[in-house]
Amino acid sequence: MSDIQRLIDTTFPFVQDLLSKYGEFYPLAAAVTTSDNITQVGTYDGDEHPLSDEVIEGLKRGLRAKQIDYKSIAIFYDV
C-alpha cells in the first residue's frame, strides 16, 4: 500500500467523524515518518478560532521545518 493511501485510510475516519459531529473541521495534517510510522501533525498559535488559511500555512511551516523526518505528508481541509 502506498504511503498516501495509508495516510488517507488512517486520517479519513477521523475527518468523517468530525464532519458528522460538527459539520466542519479545522485543517489537519498527517505524515509518514522515515521509520514508516504515521503521525498526526498540528499547529496552535494561541488563537481559539483561527482562519483556516492561517492553520494551513502553520501546518506547511511545521511540515517544512521537519521535512527530513517525513517520507510523505497530507493536509486535510474542508472545502
For 63, the grid coordinates are: 511540515
| pLDDT tens figures, 31-67 | 999 999 999 998 888 898 999 999 999 999 999 999 9
Band of residue 18 on the pLDDT scale cut at 50, 70, 90: very high
For residues 76 and 30, the answer to whether their CB atoms sit within 8 Å is yes
Q: What is the mean pLDDT of residues 16-34?
A: 95
CB neighbours of 38 closer than 8 A, spacing ≥ 6? Answer: 6, 7, 10, 30, 31, 32
Q: What is the mean pLDDT of residues 14-19?
A: 95
* Average pLDDT value over all residues in the chain: 94
Let me know the angle formed at the C-alpha of 60 by 56 and 61, rounded to the nearest 5 degrees. Answer: 120
What are the extents of the domains in the chain?
3-76
Round to whole Å and give the CA distance between 23 and 75.
18
The per-residue pLDDT for 8 is: 95
For residue 1, pLDDT over 80 is answered with no
